[in-house]
Structure 1
Amino acid sequence: MDQQRRENLIQRKKIWVWIKFKGVAKTEWTNTSYNSTSGATETKYHVQREDYLKKTVVLFGTGKFDRDIDNLSIPPGTNNYPFELPVPDDPLQPKSFQGIYGYIRYTAKATLSVRRMHINTETKTVRPFSMMGPAVDLSIIPGIQNSVKTKVTQYGCCGCGTMVERVITIGVPRRGYFSNDAIYVIGQIDNRDGEEEIYFDTTLVQRISFSCGRHTRTKEYNLSRASKSVSCPRGWVTDFTVGPLHTLISPPSGLPGCDLIDVEYYVKCIGCKFTKAIPVIIGTMPVRGEAPVLTAESSVPADVIALRPASVPAPITQDSNYSSEESETGECDRLLKSSPQDYDLDGAPPGRHIIR
Structure 2
Amino acid sequence: MVSKADRGLSGLAGEGNQASDLVSARRTLGIQIESMHMLAAALDGPLGRAIMEAVATIRAARGRVIISGIGKSGHIGRKIAATMASTGTPAYFVHPSEASHGDLGMVTADDAVIALSWSGESSELASILAYTRRFRVPLIAVTWNAASTLGKAADIVLELPKVQEACPHGLAPTSSTMLQLAIGDVLAIALLESRGFTAQDFKVFHPGGKLGASLKHVRDVMHQGAAVPLAPLGTSMKEAILLMNQRGFGCLGVLSEDGRLAGIVTDGDLRRHIADDLLVRSVDEVMTRRPKTIRPDALLATAIEMLNAASITALLVVDDERPVGIVHMHDLLRIGVA
- Bin of the TM-score, shorter chain as denominator length: under 0.3
Relative to its length, the structure with more helix (as a share) is 2
RCO comparison, higher one (Cα < 8 Å, 6+): 1
Normalised to the residue count of structure 2, the TM-score between the two structures is 0.27
